[in-house]
Chains A and B, each alone.
Chain A
Amino acid sequence: MAEAITFHYDVDGENFTSAGNASVQVKRKLRQLGFPPEIIKRVSIAMYEGEINMVIHANGGMADVTVSPEEVKIVLTDHGPGIADVSLAMREGYSTAPDNIRSLGFGAGMGLPNMKRYTDTMEIDTEVGRGTTITMTVKVA
């Protein structure tokens, strides 16, 4: 793989059951491309957390993944409510997820901190009422 490859996914915000499908697809593609298991795991977990967040908080969005021999870049874009206080949202255990999401096993306030933990860089561009774009990279080399 000499050139970068890009993948685009629309994340359905109406259906919690299908949340994570894009991450499952990316994981399988990275396996086929022969990336090291530890890199694949970090990309998959970070993207999965982000995808779940988009479904819970923003009624879905888009996921764009660019894969090159040097790095994997994940850009998650939504037009949801935005994040009013990013530093608070980054705090472990802080969550605004509703109770019905907790009953499904999510909403423990670990999503954003976990995305940062598993990636080399993470940038959050958000505006209340406009939406959020999160850009994450995982270095391969």
Chain B
Amino acid sequence: MKISRVKELLEAEVLCCEEDLETELCSACGCDMMSDVLAYVKNQAVLLTGLVNPQVIKTAEMMDMRCIVFVRSKHPTEDMLRLAEETGLVLLATKFTLFEACGRLYVNGLRGEVG
């Protein structure tokens, strides 16, 4: 699924790296614990989260992710936007909750990676 489709399904606002919306995403994860993202996530390309601090951007960068979706209309700080811009991470913001946002992507074919 392309990031542009994620944007559409989540009625999301693009906050950063709009030029990369045609990047293809193979799988996704939804999580507020960055410890768990670092421990359990394998090759997910998009992180959906309600957590807003610079460690979210750094965790996504460490995991080679391509996109972060902030749920419940949360918005990153200027520092976070700058960091994401340097990394080339697309940042989106959606009004939906984490559960609703994950569900919308799942029923439209985006999956997590099992195991």
Contacts and interface: CB of A to CB of B under 8 A. Distances in A.
Contact of B58 (A20, A92, A110, A117): A20
A45 interface: yes
Interface residues of A, number: 27
Contacts of A114: 35, 38-39
Nearest to A103: B51
Contacts of A19: 55
B40 to A, nearest CB: 8
Contacts of A104: 51, 53, 55
Interface string A86-121: 000000100000000000111111110110010000
B30 to A, nearest CB: 13
In this complex, the interface size class of chain B, counting residues with CB under 8 Å from chain A, is 10 to 19
Contacts of A18: 54
B36 to A, nearest CB: 6
Interface in B57-113: 58-59, 61-64, 79
A41 B62 contact: yes
A106 B54 contact: no
Nearest to B80: A17
A78 interface: no
Q: Which 3 A-B pairs give the minimum distances between C-beta atoms?
A: A108-B35, A105-B34, A110-B39
Given A23-B58, A114-B39, 11 more contacts: A18-B54, A19-B55, A24-B58, A41-B62, A105-B35, A105-B55, A105-B59, A110-B36, A111-B35, A114-B35, A117-B39
20 contacts: A16-B55, A20-B55, A20-B58, A23-B58, A24-B61, A37-B64, A41-B62, A48-B38, A48-B58, A49-B38, A52-B55, A105-B53, A105-B55, A106-B34, A106-B35, A108-B36, A110-B35, A110-B36, A113-B39, A114-B39
